[in-house]
Structure 1
Amino acid sequence: MRTTPILQFGTSRFLQAHADLFLSQAMEAGQDVGPITVVQSSGNPARAKRLGALIGSYPVRIEGLKDGQRQQETIAVQSVARALSTERDWVKIVRIFVNEAQIVLSNTGDAGFAPNARDSALQFDQAMSYPAKLTQLLRLRFAAGAAPIQIMPMELIADNGTVLKHRVMQLAEQDPVEFLNYLDRDVVWVNSLVDRIVSQPIEPAGAVAEPYALWAIEDQPGITLPCDHPSVQVVPSLGEIEALKLFILNLGHTFLADRWLRARGSQDIFVRNLVQDTTELTSLKDVLNNEVRPAFVAAGLEDQFDPYVDTTIERFSNPFLDHRIADISQNHSQKVTRRIAAMLDWAKAQGDHSIKPILTEIVAYNKETV
């Protein structure tokens, strides 16, 4: 068995069509990266069948629009050399983490990050959260005198690397100061932001995804890129990319959902149906250009704003993606707060005090209907 310098916690279809695919393409291009050991950390028996099917080769079908042209291709992903489960393979995982791993990826979701009553146990327990399992592994690597390691969470949490480091430091607060110094000095905790719509699984392993993909990695001293790939970007700060995604793409989704809920909320339609409607598309473009754009101009992000809007509209128009507006409208009032009300506050913080009647009315309306 080849050594696997990348250890990945999580088997989601997102990872299959994102990091695993990028690494596979980099390996095929001759880059000295990978392969990957994938670890199922949840113990979910429904996903157990997926593990074995990840090894060797699995398909990712890319479907959508890119630069106005329809794109349909199937890519064979061949970056996974080994697949294990924390529930049954903990001893093997410890060996790989201590002796082989150079980079650790994770996408365990909110459930995987959530604190657990067993997190403070001195010995490994399957019920532990992902941060607690990682703490156990880091203790063992430190005790073995192993080399530094890079931790790259991909969960959709702002400052995800910083958050994970803080949680691990909390769990290790009673450990010797030497271990705490190791966590702070020899472990590189990386903040990143990932984006790709992965619409459905292919059984037993594989996925269907849109052409657009992004893995934005915040620069810091000592960082190592997992691979060289067009979708992997190193940026000085994630703040700009987070603002673009939250206040254009996510806000756009919530704006369309708000209009749909008020006008015809019982009709089951897709996002692409709305942007094919001239009235709906014009309304979306008007609010983005007239009410959102001034904030990005004030923030000095005008050059990034216009192409990002074009890409967003193209993603919304994906003829292959069955993205239901009813799904987007779930937890609508909370999304209005996080995406639209937050944009209004952000705009003022950038020095943009222009009136925004449509977005202001949406926030007020949803406050009244909560």
Structure 2
Amino acid sequence: MIENSAYLGRYWHMLDDGRMQCDLCPRDCKLHEGQRGACFVRMRQNNQMILTTYGRSSGFCIDPIEKKPLNHFYPGSSVLSFGTAGCNLACKFCQNWDISKSKDMDQLMDQASPNAIASAAESYGCKSVAFTYNDPVIFAEYAMDVADACHARGIKTVAVTAGYMHDQARRDFYAKIDAANVDLKAFTDDFYFKLTGSHLQPVLDTLCYLKHETDVWFEITTLLIPGQNDSNEEITAMCQWIRNELGVDVPLHFSAFHPDYKMADIPATPVTTLIRARDIAIHEGLQFVYTGNVHNQAGDTTFCPNCNTPLIVRDWYQINQYLLTKDGHCPDCGITIAGRFDQHAGNFGRKRIPIAIMEHV
């Protein structure tokens, strides 16, 4: 069962003019009684912050961890994935717009307490639980409660996020998270403002925080949109920033856009664009660069950055070869590969298994 107190949100304060300011993310929504924030799920009610989607999900699935995408976090393992509804960004190119842009709470048909989710993950043999499909920032309190329940059972937690948070919420949230994939949507504030309704700097702040102040394993994804963020100059500048501020061993995924939502008139990203971006990133010194949403074996494979041995050979989400030693070293030259690894890869493969979670009263 879900206690009523669980619906109360943190991260707000009252303004002198009587409005309530949400302090979760840089949108700083200022609410009158009964109003919701831009994310649509954080609401002022009776002078408290209410989480309208606490304990409610748009669905539960068991996925390969590589789908998040995370290539260096227990490869081949399974992850129980779920999201809610709403989002604190307004991306015109959203690939999950039917969930993240939904204002229809009736789409949230599945209900589950944190303990029920952790129990299901354990029952299905999942290594981790992922907060995904829409951004977990907006249901941070629910995600943190689920994380506590998962950790009590030895299950890891994963956040798939745009990284758009204020500092205090960021610190509280990532104290509960074991791994993250952060969308770095572009490397200009103009792109962020015009196409997402947000700003670049808070995302860079999140990435630097993860690298320098936490032990969270994280990887970065950039969705390349033709004519918007795919120039050689922008990709080069982004890769140089990652190299200089985060380090050469942070995995970077270049993903292919497909026409959707409010940008249905933009063509899909050619495979050649992803390969070009990967070549630029490698030229700038990044060690682990991948391509996503396309079939490209070189872009799926983890190579040793020292001797170029193909250590993890993938075909989409299927692992066909796994050569890492049990402590994550290259068997040929002995260097340590950045990430979190078991002695053997998991064998979950490319399956996607929708599940229902039952509450035990």
The two structures share one fold, judged by TM-score above 0.5: no
- Structure with the higher strand share, 1 or 2: 2
- Structure with the higher helix share, 1 or 2: 1
Length-normalised TM-score, structure 1? 0.29
Radius of gyration: which is bigger? 1
Length-normalised TM-score, structure 2? 0.30
